[in-house]
Structure 1
Amino acid sequence: MNTATNGHSSRASERVLKIAGVSGGVFDRFRAIEDLAKDPSIHVLFGDWISEISMTFRGHQRATREAGAEQLAFEMSFIAALRPAIKDIARNKQKVAVNAGSCDPEAMARIVQKLVKDHDTDLKVSWVTGDVVTEQVKEMLRNGEKFPSLPSDTSIDQWDVEPICAQAYLGGVGIAEALRHGADIVICGRVADAAPVVGAAMWFHNWRCEDYTQLAYALVAGHLLECSSYVTGGYYTGFKKELLYAKGVDCTNCGFPIGEIESSGEFIVTKEDTAGGIVTVQTVTAQLLYEIQGPLYYNSDVTARFDGINLIQEAPNRVRVTGVVGYPPPPTTKVGITGKGGWQAEVHFFLTGLDIEEKVELIKRQTLESMGDYRKEFQTLTFNTTGSVPVNPRNQSSATVDLRIFAQSLNADLMSAGAHKGVAPDTPSFGKWCIENCLQGYPGGTPAMDMRQSIGKPFFEYWVALFPQDKINHELHTFDGKTISIPPPMKSQIYPRQQESYDTSNPRPLDSWGETVRAPLGHIVHGRSGDKSSDCNLGLFVRHADEWDWLRSLLSVGKLRELLEDEDTGKKIDRFEISALYAVHFLLKDHLDRGANSSSSYDILGKNVCEYIRCKLVDIPKVFYDRGTI
């Protein structure tokens, strides 16, 4: 991991695309577009507004609305964030590319067109379609297509859910064409998270679809920038010393990231000068390892190889990315298929002090007895405690844990979904069965008094598979009324479903480093984890070159299973290394109970898997531990 400071004056005369990430999700801070639009040196503003969760809800909205209905299946928060920035975007001649159109990019584009006109600007708004592939998926299903799940490799005919909508992940070519045809704002639906950066770089540098090295760099840049402040200190495991307690560093307003992409593809990750946070080799490494599947990163436009990447700290808050290798894209792209899963609800009890396991067992027995044969109506029914009681606790809060009873069912009435419609109080329901035993319950019995969560709400199942790019009707709709077809890649490459996976071939004996200290792994190891449907990725890395041999020797697949303990599902775990970053990466296949849309876990996004592993005790060489903890 090269952290030397190198000047970049030799590149100063080169035309560089300066692109800013202004949103990492529908809930991100609205200030970003308004603030970054004031910077005339920024050429393009891009943002990610949709997730697998929002895709399912918006897809359901689109699929079930009546003809002519006003229910709009896109992310209105983008409109709110864009409105105060319009004048500056026009004044500074910036471009904007976003996926906030979700399942209705044309409807959003029409609203944005009116908005820019109302602000007396002549900004030109185009939109991209083709990601909605519901009809193609249904036809392929009728013809026997199995759409094997990417996480579990099982056939979709084992899903037992009726597909209601499907969206394919588009690449950046449509965005590039929109910009080439004069668009100032490009509204997209489900393009890949990094696609706006790929498209903007193709336009700015006039790259061809076959310029795989350059496109791969842009793909990596998009991957690093698309989660906004994740790369400037957000979710960073070194937050204590480098953010929270660091002198002169603002942790309350981490800056939004900026990429400076050169014509060769190499790029710098930096951030707003006027905001807080940090950009270091470690923060960039953490984001690089986030939500990846293996050494190859697939996109509709290109495939990037990650395991040769190198990061260089050129200056404070400036990290150069090199060593990216590009290959042709696969002939397929990812498709997310949404089905209506049913109804879910939950009830919480607070348990304090002694005999926690026995109190849980009493609640479980009484609740199941109340349900009787109705328990067979639940697809999911779990009793999970969160927290533990320390010996001789200092206060009542620390002596209290949360019991969550969580249920899913296809029976809406059973889940109290009709409670607001005047259902009789003696009607059998999940919430009633959970609460009716309180007075014969455990010592100190205390339910959470806000019972709104016990009233069922709809949830959706989400199936992730591969879809052929040549069956996508990818189109650009220009501000002046043209429709331009975007063809699939002329050249593609078939890749095996199983990526390269291996333990270290020559691990060193763990006693090679002498005396050890029994301590949490995370005292010297950084990390990041996340979800891709029900897969969970986990990247762990160290700070110093001499710690690398120890980390790769320690962290085999077998050792990870040992650290997971009760969390080990027994399913497949892939592993690979990025030696230049001192990183070991694991992919825990189908680990997250169907993924964020329908999971029964608190950790629906897999982000806490890393923090769980980092708190596990291991034998750390004392020579490393004595350097100081993270």
Structure 2
Amino acid sequence: MSECNMTYRGSDARDRALASNTSTSGSAIAGGYEPYFLEQLEPALDDLAKNGVKLAVNAGASDVAGLAAAVRKMVAERGLKLKVGYVDGDDVTEEVLRRYREGEEFLSLPSNKSIRDWGYEPLCAQCYLGGTGIAMAFAAGADIVVAGRVADASPTLGAAMWWHGWGREEFGPLAGALMIGHLLECSTYATGGYYSGFKDLAPNDTDLGYPIADVDAAGEALITMETGRHGLVTVDTVASQLLYEIQGPLYFNSDVTARIDGVVLKQVDENAVHFSGVVGLPPPSTTKVGITAKGGYQAEFHFYLTGLDIAEKAAQIERQVKALMGEHLSKFTCLKFQVAGTAAADPQSQDEATVDLRIFAQTRDPDILSAGALVDSDRGSFARFCIQNLLQGYPGSTMATDMRNAVGKLFFEYWVALLPQDAVTEMVHFPDGSSQRVPAPTKMTTYPREQDSYEPASPADLSSFGPTKRAPLGYVVLGRSGDKSSNANLGLFVRGDEEWAWLRSFLTTSKLRELLAKDDEGRQIDRTEFPGIKAVHFLLKDHLDRGYNSTSGFDALGKNLCEYIRARYVDVPVRFLERSTLWKREA
């Protein structure tokens, strides 16, 4: 489950529930799960039954009961005896709407603003659940447990809780299993997918194997992978995934809080890494809740600019389009003219000389983006405003031939806040048809809203590393970045001890702002260090223009932030370049 599909599924479920005058826990939401899970499950069922393999999955989305019923039907049709349970309660729409009507602020986690300043009416809400319900279902004999918006790492945590019989206050092993779940949750991201050292894989990179974790009773693990596949399990690939989509030294879950800045990774064999060093703390008294609203409609139009004077050509497009829009300009809640790429000097092909200009528009007025407006001169039309300039346009005026993106489509706004755990009614439904509420943890802690942030203590003298050369940071530094709503996270790490002394001293918050250059909008940036994996981590608060569901940016998921920073030129010690392999095999 992602913020994207939970938003779409939740909104659809709420619309159908309102239309049928029922709640989102009723039959009106039938079919609101992720159907592709059934396609993946069907060929595996016989092996699950034969080998006694347990399965937990969070594909239930907004119809967990419906997915459980579909799985039971599939099992029965194959004549198998696999038992199915499910966990729900993540849909907290009614509770959130009640609190909203009573005036609760629901302060945004990225911006700390009140939901009263949002400008949108909440439609539905889902909170993140832990792994306890999954463990309870397994303990009651379930072979397959389906869930809705349990956190991505919760299926692994729940399976480990059941297997090892951990109690809810055994925070050390719980925290370790939570982070092992984090390593596994994006599958091949831990075996070479989205890996900044990806050139180590080529040409064997077309069938990356899935990671495997052998979780021990202490909550530590040996991370390996499928045999006979492409891919790598190294300290670097595992560190990359560890740094993905975290928010700082604390990693929160409904069951436990993991302190992760002391993580230790050790290469123990080929494609085998031992994972340890997580510290367990009580879970937070709150859980994260995502609140969805209908934001309006959006569309985009593309021009291709070639050769000389790109900036001037882009400026002309903007002037001409806005002039045609006239009074309709006020109807757009977002209107951006964005140039992607740079035309090469002395290009050797027309492709090398061409960039994309994207006009991105959002509005609450569907008519101004409608297909009908293209032929109705009495109504404004975003596409027509762009097309009508072709005959008076920049030299070489050429638009993208596919006009479908220029017609408006619904988009959603997403507000991330906190909800008390004791306000959530999490339920586990056992294979025998009975159900039980999953109680909130009895031992919880109220954590500060902001995590630890600090600059390097006792930094090294940068001149002590010898002569430097201007080079991309990525010639010696690996990393990973990602999103959580509108926050972006960025983790940068190195392979050697001397490089680590340099990186942690060099890479301050002010240096990151310098590297961000035009992309630094002055918002809050938190910094922390992970010495066990030689990493500096940054959290860029509210960096992604509202996040995936509504962002106007190209990097909707924050995944390219790392590669942008690695491409920036800095003064790199020459001896680091001489022993690094990251820059080699350039095209």
For this structure pair, what is the TM-score category when the shorter chain's length is used for normalisation? over 0.9
The correspondence for 2:249, drawn from 279, 295, 300, is: 295
Structure 1 match to 2:202: 244
For the residues of structure 2 that align with 1:252 and 1:537, how far apart are their CA atoms? 28
For this pair of structures, how many residues does the alignment match? 574
Alignment of 1:38-57 (within 5 A): 50-57=1-8
Structure 2 match to 1:162: 121
Cα distance change on mapping 1:71 and 1:178 into 2, 3 Å: closer
Q: Aligned partner of 1:367: which letter?
A: V
Equivalent residues of 1:431, 1:454 under 8 A apart: yes
Identity %: 55
For the residues of structure 2 that align with 1:427 and 1:398, how far apart are their CA atoms? 39
1:332 aligns with 2:332: no
For residue 208 of structure 1, report the CA deviation from its aligned partner. 0.3
| Paired residue secondary structure (1:58) | helix
For the residues of structure 2 that align with 1:100 and 1:79, how far apart are their CA atoms? 9
1:372 aligns with 2:331: no
Structure 2 match to 1:466: 418
Structure 1 length-normalised TM: 0.90
Structure 2 match to 1:31: none
Structure 1 match to 2:211: 257
Q: Aligned partner of 1:355: which letter?
A: D
Structure 2 match to 1:63: 14
For the residues of structure 1 that align with 2:168 and 2:152, how far apart are their CA atoms? 18
Structure 1 match to 2:472: 520
| Paired residue secondary structure (2:349) | coil
For residue 509 of structure 1, report the CA deviation from its aligned partner. 2.0
Structure 2 match to 1:115: 74
For the residues of structure 2 that align with 1:334 and 1:70, how far apart are their CA atoms? 23
Q: Aligned partner of 2:48: which letter?
A: I
Instruction: Render the CA deviation track for 1:344-368: whole Å, top value 9, x for unaligned.
Output: 0000000000111111111111100
Structure 2 match to 1:447: 399
For the residues of structure 2 that align with 1:585 and 1:98, how far apart are their CA atoms? 30
For the residues of structure 1 that align with 2:465 and 2:175, how far apart are their CA atoms? 39
| Paired residue secondary structure (2:464) | coil
The correspondence for 1:184, drawn from 134, 137, 143, is: 143
Structure 2 match to 1:79: 38
For the residues of structure 2 that align with 1:455 and 1:69, how far apart are their CA atoms? 30
Alignment of 1:197-216 (within 5 A): 197-216=156-175
| Paired residue secondary structure (1:311) | strand
Q: Aligned partner of 1:569: which letter?
A: E
1:276 aligns with 2:230: yes
For the residues of structure 1 that align with 2:53 and 2:532, how far apart are their CA atoms? 36
Flag structure 2 segments of 5+ consecutive residues without an equivalent. 21-26, 583-587
Equivalent residues of 1:266, 1:321 under 8 A apart: yes
Q: Aligned partner of 1:597: which letter?
A: N
For residue 72 of structure 1, report the CA deviation from its aligned partner. 1.8
For residue 426 of structure 1, report the CA deviation from its aligned partner. 5.4
Structure 2 match to 1:578: 530
For residue 168 of structure 1, report the CA deviation from its aligned partner. 0.5
Structure 2 match to 1:619: 571
1:361 aligns with 2:315: yes
For the residues of structure 1 that align with 2:28 and 2:424, how far apart are their CA atoms? 26
| Paired residue secondary structure (2:160) | helix
For residue 274 of structure 1, report the CA deviation from its aligned partner. 2.4
Structure 2 match to 1:130: 89
Flag structure 1 segments of 5+ consecutive residues without an equivalent. 1-49
For the residues of structure 2 that align with 1:415 and 1:501, how far apart are their CA atoms? 44
Q: Aligned partner of 1:618: which letter?
A: V
Structure 1 match to 2:276: 322
For the residues of structure 1 that align with 2:459 and 2:285, how far apart are their CA atoms? 37
Equivalent residues of 1:348, 1:405 under 8 A apart: yes
Q: Aligned partner of 2:66: which letter?
A: A
Equivalent residues of 1:233, 1:239 under 8 A apart: yes
Equivalent residues of 2:13, 2:29 under 8 A apart: no
Q: Aligned partner of 1:161: which letter?
A: Y
For residue 514 of structure 1, report the CA deviation from its aligned partner. 1.1
Equivalent residues of 1:146, 1:157 under 8 A apart: yes
Equivalent residues of 1:412, 1:418 under 8 A apart: no
For the residues of structure 1 that align with 2:221 and 2:342, how far apart are their CA atoms? 46
Q: Aligned partner of 1:604: which letter?
A: A
Q: Aligned partner of 2:63: which letter?
A: D
Instruction: Render the CA deviation track for 1:21-50: whole Å, top value 9, x for unaligned.
Output: xxxxxxxxxxxxxxxxxxxxxxxxxxxxx1
For residue 62 of structure 1, report the CA deviation from its aligned partner. 0.3
1:352 aligns with 2:306: yes
| Paired residue secondary structure (2:462) | coil
Q: Aligned partner of 1:505: which letter?
A: A
Equivalent residues of 2:10, 2:124 under 8 A apart: yes
Q: Aligned partner of 2:268: which letter?
A: E
For the residues of structure 2 that align with 1:129 and 1:345, how far apart are their CA atoms? 35
| Paired residue secondary structure (1:413) | helix
For the residues of structure 2 that align with 1:417 and 1:103, how far apart are their CA atoms? 31
Equivalent residues of 2:34, 2:59 under 8 A apart: yes
For residue 71 of structure 1, report the CA deviation from its aligned partner. 5.8
For the residues of structure 1 that align with 2:378 and 2:47, how far apart are their CA atoms? 60
Equivalent residues of 2:192, 2:233 under 8 A apart: yes
- Report the more deviating stretch, 183-192 or 408-417: 408-417
Q: Aligned partner of 1:57: which letter?
A: Y
For residue 126 of structure 1, report the CA deviation from its aligned partner. 1.0
Equivalent residues of 2:413, 2:550 under 8 A apart: yes
Structure 2 match to 1:286: 240
Instruction: Render the CA deviation track for 1:542-598: whole Å, top value 9, x for unaligned.
Output: 011111110011100000000000010100000000111110000000000000000
Structure 1 segments of 4 or more deviating over 6 A? none
Instruction: Render the CA deviation track for 1:461-499: whole Å, top value 9, x for unaligned.
Output: 000011101011100112221011100001001111111
Structure 2 match to 1:431: 383
For residue 268 of structure 1, report the CA deviation from its aligned partner. 1.0
Cα distance change on mapping 1:190 and 1:418 into 2, 3 Å: farther
For the residues of structure 2 that align with 1:431 and 1:109, how far apart are their CA atoms? 45
Structure 2 length-normalised TM: 0.96
- Report the more deviating stretch, 505-514 or 524-533: 505-514
Equivalent residues of 1:61, 1:71 under 8 A apart: no
| Paired residue secondary structure (2:208) | coil
For the residues of structure 1 that align with 2:310 and 2:378, how far apart are their CA atoms? 31
1:381 aligns with 2:381: no
Equivalent residues of 1:105, 1:188 under 8 A apart: yes
1:150 aligns with 2:140: no
The correspondence for 1:224, drawn from 170, 174, 183, is: 183
1:171 aligns with 2:130: yes
1:597 aligns with 2:555: no
For the residues of structure 2 that align with 1:461 and 1:268, how far apart are their CA atoms? 40
Q: Aligned partner of 1:482: which letter?
A: S
Q: Aligned partner of 2:87: which letter?
A: V
For residue 141 of structure 1, report the CA deviation from its aligned partner. 1.2
Equivalent residues of 2:33, 2:62 under 8 A apart: yes
Alignment root-mean-square deviation, CA: 1.2
For residue 70 of structure 1, report the CA deviation from its aligned partner. 7.4
Structure 2 match to 1:495: 447
Q: Aligned partner of 2:293: which letter?
A: G
The correspondence for 2:348, drawn from 383, 394, 398, is: 394
| Paired residue secondary structure (2:366) | coil
For residue 418 of structure 1, report the CA deviation from its aligned partner. 5.4
| Paired residue secondary structure (2:201) | helix
| Paired residue secondary structure (1:121) | coil
For the residues of structure 1 that align with 2:81 and 2:98, how far apart are their CA atoms? 42
